[in-house]
Homo-oligomer: A and B are copies of this chain.
């Protein structure tokens, strides 16, 4: 399936997938949210070849999901830091994690959990709500597609 046609689609889900719909992109963002900033940290976490990871990071910087900063410790290294656009990906990562932990783990299987820093309790499950606050199920939601 070709990808380029999605760049101009009116569907924001498709356009988002066109940009970040490769598993490595969101795993780099996940690691950045866990505090990783260095090339070597991403490499160790993702088990990626240097040239491939380098291409991935450059793409994320070009898309303004990561930005490059001088190392916070004053060394010659670079830090890769999430931009606001990158931080805004968090609900996607949380939604993926909640679905994964519900459907892809056996009972009792060790599973990374996202908790709130203060109470160390797992996050509340994401809810979809209408503007007036009503909880929405799948059948309560529809897509309004603009005229071509």
Identify A113's interface contact among B3, B138, B143, CB under 8 A: B143
Q: How many copies does the complex hold?
A: 2
Which residue on B lies nearest to A6, using beta carbons? B23
Are A88 and B99 closer than 8 Å at their CB atoms? yes
Interface size grouping (class) on chain A? 35 or more
Q: How long is the Cα–Cα vector from A17 to B21 in the complex, in angstroms?
A: 9
| Contact of A15 with B by CB under 8 A | yes
Inter-chain contacts of A21 with B (CB < 8 A): 21-23, 26
| Contact of A121 with B by CB under 8 A | yes
30 residue pairs from A and B, CB less than 8 Å apart: A1-B48, A10-B110, A12-B96, A12-B100, A13-B96, A15-B100, A15-B104, A17-B27, A21-B23, A34-B143, A87-B138, A88-B102, A89-B99, A91-B95, A91-B126, A92-B92, A95-B95, A112-B145, A112-B146, A114-B142, A114-B143, A116-B134, A116-B136, A117-B141, A118-B134, A118-B140, A121-B130, A122-B131, A123-B136, A123-B141
